Chain A
Amino acid sequence: MVQLKVLIVLTAAIIIQILDADTLKKAHETCVDSEITFYGKSDTVVLKKKEYRITVNAIGFELMILNKTKLVNIYKLEDPNVKFCLNEKIVVAKGIFVLSSSVPEAVDYFFTFSKDKRILKLINQTMLFRKVPPG
């Protein structure tokens, strides 16, 4: 009976390890794809590598969205979150009202949007992502 219990526990541990490995592999594959994904409440817009350009600056980075059709779709998203890869790690950015000081919890970067939580018409199709300050 004791041997059976040990076997069940060991089997469960192996299954959990396989699942974890799968999750990590998927996350890694997503990063390799170099996609930037905008998740709205009901829609998603995915930017492929050729559809954007990133310029790193002192406070974070600027994202120039080259695909105008997708940019129009990004403007339609409500309360978008953005996920992308940086140094092979998935990072998350969320928006705040343009006059708000409060940075969302548990994010790496933030950007500003309108009162109704939509991305404002970008200057030169470029969106600024600010690094969350330590604190």
Chain B
Amino acid sequence: MHSIPWIPDSDGNLTAEKGDNAATLSKFLGVKQEDANKILSSQDKTDVKEGDKVTLDNVYTRSIKNSTGDLTTDKVLELSAKGQDVKGPDVDNYNCWGSAIAGTQGKEINNTVGIPTGSKFDVDLVGDYKPVDKESATFGNTVLRFSNENNVAEHGAVFYGKSNDGTIFVYTKDGWNAKPEVMKLSDLQTKIPSYGTVKGVNSSDSGYYNPNP
């Protein structure tokens, strides 16, 4: 029987589905079961029920929590479609590439991590990461590279789990104004088609990258 997945919310925390437990959490997060047990027991959720919320404390949830803004990607899209300017708080002054690289290197994500160009992001991926199959992506550890039809990098995000039906969740920081959030990969691509598709620096690669050990 397949494990039943946890579902991340936009803050990067998880909601239990029917049948979820420490074993499925262990599998979802890619951690030892004793570590999953510790997370659950520290939140008095040793007997997990459907709908239970589990709060995660990692570089991604901390960056979302640290954001003082209310500019979600949806709100930025809505306001800019109406022709209105947006201005994120100073604390959110970083971008997708910077947050993806910092986060997957285990560094705190803040307004010092911005990477100005896609070419620099590509240099980091080629130098410090190895391309992996989509199926080898691991929670919070795998960078996704998005590029346009000319394979110019347009965006970066971090793999944040996959459900049994194949739905992929990503941590994403969309531009310099929006607050970071976790969403379905398919939603991100629908909302911002200009980011293109997930593709490797070498177009034969999947576009999924794990840090070098």
Cβ contact within 8 Å between B116 and A135: yes
Cβ contact within 8 Å between A120 and B85: yes
Q: Which A residue sits closest to B173, measured CB to CB?
A: A101
Cβ contact within 8 Å between A120 and B93: no
Q: Which of B9-17, B62-70, B175-183 contacts A (4 or more CB under 8 A)?
A: B175-183
Given A59-B90, A133-B115, are A99 and B85 also a contact pair (CB < 8 Å)?
Answer: no
Contact of B90 among A58, A103, A122, A123 (CB under 8 A): A58
B105 to chain A, nearest CB (A): 15
5 nearest interchain CB pairs?
A101-B95, A120-B85, A103-B116, A99-B175, A133-B114
Q: Does more than half of chain A's interface fall in helix, strand or loop, or is it mixed?
A: loop
Given A57-B90, A98-B177, A120-B86, are A114 and B117 also a contact pair (CB < 8 Å)?
Answer: no
Report how far A5 CA is from B177 CA in the complex, Å. Answer: 61
Cβ contact within 8 Å between B85 and A123: yes
Identify the B interface with A (CB < 8 A). 73, 76-77, 79-80, 83-87, 90, 93, 95-98, 111, 114-118, 120, 153-156, 173-178, 192, 194
Residue A25 is within 8 A (CB to CB) of chain B in the complex: no
Contact of A115 among B80, B153, B154 (CB under 8 A): B80
Q: Could you list 13 examples of A-B contacts with CB < 8 Å?
A: A98-B76, A98-B175, A99-B76, A100-B154, A101-B97, A101-B118, A101-B176, A102-B153, A112-B177, A120-B84, A123-B87, A134-B116, A135-B115
Cβ contact within 8 Å between B116 and A99: no
Report how far A35 CA is from B176 CA in the complex, Å. Answer: 27
Cβ contact within 8 Å between A120 and B154: no
Greatest chain B CB density within 10 A among A120, A121, A127, A135 is at A135
If A98-B177, A135-B116 are given as contacts, then 12 extra A-B residue pairs at C-beta distance below 8 Å, sorted by A number, are A97-B194, A99-B80, A101-B97, A101-B156, A103-B117, A112-B86, A114-B80, A122-B85, A130-B176, A132-B116, A133-B114, A133-B116
B30 to chain A, nearest CB (A): 27
Cβ contact within 8 Å between A59 and B192: no
Greatest chain A CB density within 10 A among B77, B117, B178 is at B117
Cβ contact within 8 Å between A121 and B175: no
Cβ contact within 8 Å between A99 and B120: no
Q: Which B residue sits closest to A99, measured CB to CB?
A: B175
Cβ contact within 8 Å between A135 and B120: yes
Contact of A128 among B87, B174, B175 (CB under 8 A): B87
A residues in contact with B90, CB < 8 Å: 57-59
B residues in contact with A112, CB < 8 Å: 85-86, 175-177
B residues in contact with A105, CB < 8 Å: 117
List CB contacts (< 8 Å) of A65-89 with chain B.
none
Cβ contact within 8 Å between B86 and A101: no
Q: Which A residue sits closest to B92, measured CB to CB?
A: A59
